[in-house]
Amino acid sequence: MHEEKIKRLHRMKKMAELGGGEDKIEAQHSKGKLTARERIDLLLDEGSFLEIDKYVTHRSDDPHAEKYYGDGVITGFGTVNGRQVFLYVYDFTILGGSLGEMAGKKVVKLMDHAIKAGAPLIGIIDSGGARIQEGVLSLDGYGDIFYRNTLASGLVPQITAMIGPCAGGAVYSPAMTDFVIMVENVGQMFVTGPEVVKEVLSQEVSFEELGGAKAHATKSGVAHFVAKNEYECMDKIKKLLSFMPQNNTEEPPILDTIDEPNRIDANLVNILPENPYEQYDIRQILTSIVDNGDFLEVHELFAENILVGFARMGGRPIGVVANQPMYLAGALDINSSNKAARFIRFCDAYNIPVVTLVDTPGYLPGTDQEHNGIIRHGSKLLFAYCEATVPKITCIIGKAYGGAYIAMGSKNLRADFNYAWPTAEIAVLGPEAAITIIHRRTLKQSTDAVATKKKLAKEFRDKFANPYIAAEKGIIDAVIDPMETRPMIIRALEALANKVETRPWKKHGNINL
């Protein structure tokens, strides 16, 4: 009886799913890029996608402006490994994925749903930017999206994948989300493109150099992850999600990892090189203590002197912050302070405990750091630790001097448990620097300054550079055998599982941005 109507629905559906048409799909494929619908198939569980606003078109009166169902963005929801997520995926085959009024409304509607439903928001960007023909209405769309990004921030996790261009103001949306993944040679982000740069500054630079995945992963820190291809991008999104809760009222999911919580590793006893000035890779310690050596590093190529990322211990997701002695001896600087501070704030927002491993000689000196504001940026790290009310466990492995000692999750920043290895050196300054100040006169009067300095430095090290002085004062809760690092941290995490810390109400603090 109503077959005709059903047939019409099927025809409409088919047409909508062709996006900009067969030839546009061909063009997308010939560039080595997948279409929006293909990407959704890769990310979501088979058959779980429910699309909304499939037949939305733009409202322009211009008869020459062709209408496309969907208007360049696909929105809907589905499951990733069984977990509910909300998606907005730009469709490059329709008007270059540009955002017009109605497309903007679609995304905003979807984001509102995600906030109300308390489920993660995932965006896949492949867009030419604002739709010039629609003028200020496009900008209006972006503005509303930015607003929703801000509203959602701290309520539901937001992950954005850049699998295509994203230029102009549009880049601010991903920038405000929690994690940005860029696909190598495909994803590009910049506020002003190479043509304008050439025109205004006479500077020649390629798309890739200016705003490709490598540039943003290593230099600007805009990209948290680089994926070699679209498959890896989807795998990264799925892996990331597995460490987070659905929203900020839930605990992150505990998985039954087979790794024994009481596993001790005697290799850790001698893992630090004999010479305290020798570099080593903190990852070796990290992969030993986390479950199955499985560590998802965030911002791997940015500010390499500090390591942040997700792992599990005893099945519980944790956020790891660790100095990396292999780069800049593990010193703190502007970029590493920013990197760690943002990461800690994300973990705090989503109930993910923070585990800190410390081996840092202090802050990087120099006019470059000072004039670019290490004072401001460094304070963010302190602020983030203090502000966080998730369980915080710190383990001092090696050096912990001065302000950097305080900044790396010290007791005063209200870390819950502070452990130290017997090799920990907690001091205001490193031995060499300290004795040049304390024994200035002795050194001046000495006949062999070099030998005296060495002797005094050794005395200083033996007397002060150990964790026991701090332990005597209760600033370190326990000096532990390196073998037992893993069980000690896991037990602490279990004890703190229901930790609650309340603070007097305020609208928000004034972190020194």
Catalytic positions are: 168-169, 403-404
Which lies closer to other proteins via its Cβ, residue 60 or residue 185?
185
Site string for other proteins, 149-188 (x = CB under 8 A): -----------------------------------xxx--
Residues binding other proteins: what is the number (CB under 8 A)? Answer: 53
Verify binding: residue 8, other proteins, rule CB under 8 A: no
Considering only residues 13-42, where is the footprint of other proteins by CB under 8 A? 29-34, 38, 41-42
Interface region with other proteins, contact rule CB under 8 A, candidates 131-139, 267-275, 428-436, 457-465: 267-275
Verify binding: residue 277, other proteins, rule CB under 8 A: no
| Interface pick for other proteins out of 6, 9, 497, 511 (rule CB under 8 A) | 497
Question: Nearest distance from residue 269's CB to other proteins, in Å?
Answer: 8
Question: Nearest distance from residue 5's CB to other proteins, in Å?
Answer: 25
Question: Nearest distance from residue 67's CB to other proteins, in Å?
Answer: 27
Which lies closer to other proteins via its Cβ, residue 133 or residue 229?
229
**Which residue type sits at 426?**
I
Q: Position of tokens 């992969």?
A: 287
Angle at the Cα of 146 (from 144 to 151), degrees rounded to 5? 95
**Which residue type sits at 406?**
I
Considering only residues 198-257, where is the footprint of other proteins by CB under 8 A? 228-232, 234-235, 238, 241-242, 245-246, 249-255
Verify binding: residue 46, other proteins, rule CB under 8 A: yes
| Interface pick for other proteins out of 4, 5, 61, 258 (rule CB under 8 A) | 258
- Which residues of 324-368 form beta strands (DSSP E)? 354-360
Please name the residues in contact with 47: beta carbons below 8 A apart, sequence gap of 6 or more: none
DSSP 489: H
Please name the residues in contact with 489: beta carbons below 8 A apart, sequence gap of 6 or more: 289, 313, 355, 393, 395, 419
Please name the residues in contact with 213: beta carbons below 8 A apart, sequence gap of 6 or more: 162, 182, 183, 184, 185, 186, 187, 223, 226, 227
Q: Which long-range contacts (CB under 8 A, 24 or more apart) does 282-286 make?
A: 282/307, 282/322, 282/323, 282/324, 282/325, 282/326, 282/330, 282/357, 282/359, 282/397, 283/307, 283/324, 285/357, 285/397, 285/485, 286/311, 286/320, 286/322, 286/357
Q: What is the dihedral of CA 129, 131, 132, 138, to 10 degrees?
A: -100
Site string for other proteins, 67-106 (x = CB under 8 A): ------------x-xxx-----------------------
Give the integer Cα–Cα distance in Å for 160 and 107.
Answer: 13
Which lies closer to other proteins via its Cβ, residue 284 or residue 442?
284
Which lies closer to other proteins via its Cβ, residue 102 or residue 311?
311
| Interface pick for other proteins out of 45, 66, 368, 494 (rule CB under 8 A) | 45
DSSP H or E segment with residue 160: strand 158-162
Please name the residues in contact with 10: beta carbons below 8 A apart, sequence gap of 6 or more: none
**Using CB under 8 A as the criterion, which residues of the chain lie in contact with other proteins when the complex forms?**
29-34, 38, 41-43, 45-48, 79, 81-83, 184-186, 228-232, 234-235, 238, 241-242, 245-246, 249-255, 258, 264-267, 269-270, 284, 497-498, 500, 502, 505
